[in-house]
Each structure stands twice: as structure tokens, then as C-alpha cells.
A and B are shown apart, each in its own frame.
Chain A
Amino acid sequence: MRTMKPGRSGTVDRRRVLAGTAGSVLALALRPAAAAQPRTETTESAIRRFAGDNPIRPGRVSLDLPPLVENGNTVPLSISVESPMTQADHVRRIGVFNERNPQPNVVTLHLRPGAGRAQVATRIRLADTQRITAIAEMSDGTYWSASADAIVTLAACLEG
């Protein structure tokens, strides 16, 4: 009966493990370079262009985005804001921003008091796994925000 030499098989395993690790490190190091696209503007400056220097508080906005996206070319997005939508208290604008698409703006929506509900839906493109932020401007001049993360397996803009 043959006995396994623990020392030898141990070395082979270690070699394989090391080779595998080096491979994945290389793959990780190459991936951002391949996905990197020059951005036209930073997300922060796009948000400041939307909201000015006003403080943005989290809350009142809810953002519905699938957490795992198979195809970044068309991702359903729905936004609702807690608001009575009356003449005195309504949502004026909703801005949606991304972190890693070539351009930080996704969509800007202008609402009117007669809408009844502050509820909108659209479909967007995501170039990478990233966080989406929606900011609502109320008629009283306050800004509220919500964010949602999406993991993207097939990126828009590069493929398709």
C-alpha cells in the first residue's frame, strides 16, 4: 500500500494555490484599467450644480433599483418621494446621479403640484457596479436624498 508523502503533496498544493492567487490578483489589477473611462465631471460637482450649496439630508426619498443587475443596458429604476404634492408643499425636481458612468447625471425630473403623488419610473444604463443617488428638491427649498447599490454583471457603454 502506498503512503502519501505529506511534504511533497503539500508543496504542489502550495504552488498551485500561489499560482492561482497570482492569477486572480493580476485579473483584479487589470480589470479597472479595462473598465476605466474618462469622466466628464465628478458626481460631487454634478450634485452641487443641481442643489447649489444647500444641505442635503437623507430621508423622504425612496429609490427602487434591483440589487443585482444582469444587463446594465436597461435597469428599471423607480423613485418616490414622501410629499402631499399640494401647492404649498410639493416636490419641484428630482435629480438622479451615478458614480461610475462616463457622465454623472442619469435623469432630472421636474414635477408639478397637481401630480397627486411624487412617483416616477424609468430605465437607465449602468456602466459598472456602483451606487445610485436620488435627490429631491422640495418647494420649501430643502433637499432630501436616498441611495441604492447595484451590482452589474454586463456593463453598458462598453459592450452592447
Chain B
Amino acid sequence: MARTLINLPKTARAGDVITIKTLISHPMETGFRPGADGRILPRNIVTEFVCRFEGEEIFRAELFPASAANPYLTFTWVATASGRFTFTWRGDDGFDQTESAPIAVA
């Protein structure tokens, strides 16, 4: 399991615009770079990131080799109700990881 960092406020007032920051530890090998033996290293990247709130997709990113290692993404969402965000990263070699974080809306 890759290490992830997810940063969002634990509580918010209804109508607040919250900023969600996510990062996952991943080498993001581009597939264009030669290794120590001079041969091109095979591509190994995260290709897709999806954030859902209570099952509804709120943000999606398609990533390419031009993403830096340990892909970092920040985006915003208007807090309307308490619930749970889930974050899913998918990539090469069957990479698939899901994390979640709750929010309490007063």
C-alpha cells in the first residue's frame, strides 16, 4: 500500500468552499527514461484519480507521464452535508488504492 496524505478540514459550515489536498507516494516512472543498464524502464504511473462524496463523483484527473513523482492534486468543493469523501488512485500494473476521509458540516 502506498502512503497517502489527505488534507481537508474536519468540520465546515454549510456553504463553505473547502480545499482538498491529496498526495500519494508513487514513483511515476515515465517510460521514457533509461535505467542503469541503458534500456528504457517500463512505464509505471498512476493514470487516474477520482474523488467521490457519498458515492457521487466530484473530481477526476487523468494523469500522464508528465505528472511529477508522488502525484499531488488540490481542488475545492462546497460543503453542504456531513459525509465521507473517498479517494481512488488507479494506475499501471493493476495499481488500485482507495482511502477515505470524513467531514462534519454544521
The answer to whether the Cβ of B73 comes within 8 Å of any Cβ in the partner chain is: yes
Q: How many B residues touch A, CB cutoff 8 Å? A: 27
Is B62 a contact partner of A125 (Cβ separation < 8 A)?
A: no
What CA separation (Å) do A95 and B73 show in the bound complex?
14
With the chains together, A126 CA to B69 CA distance in Å? 12
CB atoms of A107 and B67 under 8 A apart: yes
Residues of A within 8 A of B (CB): 37, 73-75, 98, 101-103, 105-112, 114-117, 119-126, 156-158
Give me the 10 closest cross-chain CB pairs, A-B, nearest first: A116-B17, A123-B68, A74-B68, A110-B60, A116-B78, A108-B62, A106-B66, A105-B64, A121-B74, A102-B32
Q: Are B33 and A157 in contact (CB under 8 A)?
A: yes
- Name B57's closest neighbour in chain A (CB-CB): A112
Q: Does B80 count as interface, using CB distance less than 8 angstroms?
A: yes
- The answer to whether A103 touches B59 (Cβ under 8 A) is no
Q: How far is the CA of A112 from the CA of B58 in the complex (A)?
A: 6
* Interface positions of B (Cβ within 8 A of A): 17, 30, 32-33, 57-78, 80
Q: Closest residue to A121 on the B side, CB-wise?
A: B74
Are A121 and B73 in contact, with the CB atoms below 8 A? yes
A105 to chain B, nearest CB (A): 4
B70 CB contacts on chain A under 8 angstroms: 123
The answer on a CB contact under 8 Å between B75 and A119 is: yes
- Cβ A124 vs Cβ B17 within 8 A: no
A–B pairs, 28, beta carbons within 8 Å: A73-B68, A73-B69, A74-B69, A98-B66, A102-B30, A102-B32, A105-B62, A109-B62, A109-B75, A110-B61, A112-B58, A114-B58, A114-B77, A114-B78, A115-B58, A115-B76, A115-B77, A115-B78, A120-B73, A120-B75, A121-B73, A122-B67, A123-B67, A123-B71, A124-B67, A124-B68, A156-B30, A156-B68
Residue of B nearest to A119 (CB): B76
Min distance, Cβ A59 to any Cβ of chain B, angstroms:
21
**A18 and B76 alpha carbons, distance in the complex (Å):** 58
Taking CB as reference atom, which chain B residue is nearest A75? B68
Q: Cα distance A29–B57 when bound, in Å? A: 50
- A125 contacts which chain B residues (CB < 8 A)? 30, 65-68
A122–B72 CA distance with the chains assembled, in angstroms: 5
